[in-house]
Amino acid sequence: MENPADRLKPLINCPSCQKKYDPKRVLLLAEDSKKTALHLECTACGASSLVFVSLGRMGAVSLGMLTDLDREEASRFYGREAVSSDDALSMHRFLMDFHGGASGCLPQERRKR
Ligand SMILES: [Zn+2]
């Protein structure tokens, strides 16, 4: 199977120093027929970035952004569910009703409301 990094290499530059990436430092995070997500470490400046390449009617479009995630962290966290607005709202409601200290948040005993 063809290495996706080789195919995409001409599209990918370091967002920090604009150099072309060395494909040895490319980690494929996710790929389907239309889009690819990569984690890259720049051999020139050492910056890590996440690069998303999508294929559309206008051809390939790439978007790179700098990250402080290393390769392992990127593969661990990529695709995980983000905190939803429902999560934020339920936390907000919890804190509105809560008047104890931090130890009261711990599930030592459950009280009925
Ligand atoms: Zn660079």
In the chain, where the domains are located: 4-98
Who surrounds ion ligand 1 at CB < 5 A?
14, 16-17, 42, 44-45, 47
Per the CB < 8 A criterion, the answer to whether 64 and 12 are in contact is yes
Separation between Cα atoms, residue 112 and residue 18, nearest integer Å: 59
Q: How far does residue 8's CA lie from ligand 1's centre (Å)?
A: 17
pLDDT tens digit string along 24-34? Answer: 678 899 988 88
Separation between Cα atoms, residue 37 and residue 2, nearest integer Å: 16
pLDDT tens digit string along 34-64? Answer: 888 999 888 889 899 998 888 878 788 888 8
> What is the DSSP-derived secondary structure letter of residue 69?
-
Residue 110 pLDDT greater than 60, yes or no? no
User: Nearest-5° angle of CA 97, CA 90, CA 85?
Assistant: 145
Instruction: Note the pTM of the prediction, 2 decimals.
Output: 0.61
Cα dihedral: 39, 41, 47, 51 (round 10): -30
Q: How far does residue 23's CA lie from ligand 1's centre (Å)?
A: 13
Q: How far does residue 34's CA lie from ligand 1's centre (Å)?
A: 26
Q: How far does residue 79's CA lie from ligand 1's centre (Å)?
A: 25
Sheet architecture: strand order including 59-67: 26-31, 35-41, 48-56, 59-67
